[in-house]
Amino acid sequence: MEQTDLVTTRYVTFDTDLRLESGRLLGPFTIAYEAYGTLNSAGDNAILVTHAWTGDCHAAGRHHPDDRKPGWWDNLIGPGKVLDTSRFYVICANVIGSCKGSTGPASINPKTKRPYRLSFPLVMVRDMVHAHKHLLDHLGITSLVTVIGGSMGAMQAVEWGILYPEFTRSIIPLAGTGRTSPMAIALNAIARQAIYNDPLWKKGNYKPEHPPASGFALARAVGHISFLSEESMEKKFGRRFSARDGIFDFFGQFEVERYLGYNGNNFVPRFDPNSFLYLAKALDLYDVGWNFSSMEEALSHLHCPSLWFAFTSDWLYRPEQTEEVVDILAEIGKPVSYHLIDSDYGHDSFLVEPHKFTPYVVDFLDEIARAQGV
């Protein structure tokens, strides 16, 4: 986007029931999305960008001319950029279960006129994908050039390939995993318990203006640690002590500690704790083999070319976890490419150092688009 191009988040409400993996129904449901570029008449030049845990659909451009920052992947999306909006119609949609415009636990349940809170059904990554398929059909998209996203976005990309093989012409999962590891679940367990321990949480029945702030800030700090790496922490903080504190003060803090507290607290007004918990659960439950007899069987349904990236210092979804999936795909003869990107920024590398992987994305997209004549 150019700085002068303003974008708007749009909302579509589907007056239908989504049958979730849990067997429960969700409906009507709203999807918030943004779109950049123009859909061609065949409806086949669309790229879907999938967001991570606490992400949103504001992937590019600015809502207001004075916005301090553009959308979260603005460096990738725009005319002449990696996801070239003069050529592709790029869409990013908020997942169900979130609090950034799509239906989630903070939404009003139209049947009761009250917020869902913990009466919201558990959603899996697969449910998010099915919900977004309604949006893409609504927009007249007939097939996707690719689905690209990191972390939970990578999970969605894989599910698109498996669930909608005719519709999905390629996928680009970054910093993903075939199934969440017990270490990642354990870290989410700590984050969860931090919220549960906060008396203001009230089993999810907090007032939006009185959220369980201390517990939620702590939960976010746990996440933050898992997104960083030894190397990035050494670079960014080392063992520097907060300049305002005495080293022998009981409450004195190292810089890394001060930073975690600061960022955790900043996050509180920006996200809904119940949404955070629902999406953490979706991450924990993620297993590409879910409801298939095996990971192999699940992946046999993926027909399109896939381009995978893992990052050396990512200890949340380690490269071995991506490689497990890539190896299976190669073994069963699927068209698969994989790059292990050397980066010190941990799980966040896909956001911090895009230049290290985007050249591969450009080549890959050229090939996909050329094969389809887009």
Q: Return the active site residues.
A: 151, 314, 347
Of 83 and 325, which has the nearer Cβ to its own copies? Answer: 325
Is residue 46 a contact partner of residue 33, using CB atoms and an 8 Å limit?
no
Q: Does 25 bind its own copies (CB under 8 A)?
A: no
Which residues lie below 8 Å from residue 249, measured CB to CB, with a gap of 6+?
Answer: none
- Angstrom distance (rounded) from CA 47 to CA 146: 5
**Nearer residue to its own copies within complex by CB, 131 or 228:** 228
Q: Does 285 bind its own copies (CB under 8 A)?
A: yes
Residue 342 found at the interface with its own copies (CB under 8 A): no
Span near its own copies by CB under 8 A; candidates 1-9, 142-150, 154-162, 250-258? 250-258
Q: DSSP letters of 50-112?
A: E--TT--S--SSBSSTT-SS--TTTTTEETTSSEETTT-EEEEEPPTT-SSSSS-TTSEETTT
Read off the amino acid at residue 4.
T
193 binds its own copies (CB under 8 A): yes
Nearer to its own copies, 243 or 247 (CB): 247
Is 339 among the residues that bind its own copies (CB under 8 A)?
A: no
Rounded to whole angstroms, the Cα distance separating 328 from 321 reads 11
Q: Is 271 left (phi over 0), alpha (psi -120 to 50) or beta?
A: beta
User: Is the CB of 49 or the CB of 128 nearer to its own copies?
Assistant: 128
x/- string (CB under 8 A) for its own copies, residues 306-335? ---------x--x-----------------
What is the widest separation between alpha-carbon atoms in the chain?
68
Quick check: 177 binds its own copies (CB under 8 A)?
no
Q: Which is nearer to its own copies, 138 or 235 (CB)?
A: 235
**CA-CA-CA-CA torsion sign (289, 28, 41, 91):** negative
Beta strand pairing call for 25-26 and 18-19? antiparallel
Q: How many residues bind its own copies (CB under 8 A)?
A: 54
State the nearest-atom distance from the C-beta of 260 to its own copies, in Å: 6
Q: Which two tokens stand for residue 91?
A: 């869409």
Q: Does 99 bind its own copies (CB under 8 A)?
A: no
| C-beta neighbour count of 298 within 10 angstroms | 21
Q: Which of 69, 46, 63, 64 is nearest to 101 (CA)?
A: 63
Q: Which is nearer to its own copies, 36 or 278 (CB)?
A: 278
CA distance 319 to 323: 6
- Residue 189 touches its own copies, criterion: CB under 8 A: yes
Q: How far is the CB of 197 from its own copies (least distance, A)?
A: 5
Collapsing DSSP states into helix, strand and coil, what is residue 20?
coil
Q: Which stretch binds its own copies (CB under 8 A): 8-16, 108-116, 176-184, 324-332?
A: 176-184
Told to check if 260 binds its own copies by CB under 8 A, we report yes
Query: Which residues 211-240 are close enough to bind its own copies by CB under 8 A?
Result: 214-215, 218, 221-222, 225, 228, 230, 233-234, 236-239
Count the alpha carbons within 13 Å of 328 in the hemisphere toward its beta carbon. 18
Site residues for its own copies per CB under 8 A: 22-24, 118, 121-122, 179-183, 185-187, 189-190, 192-194, 197-199, 214-215, 218, 221-222, 225, 228, 230, 233-234, 236-239, 247-250, 253-257, 260-261, 277, 281, 284-285, 287, 315, 318
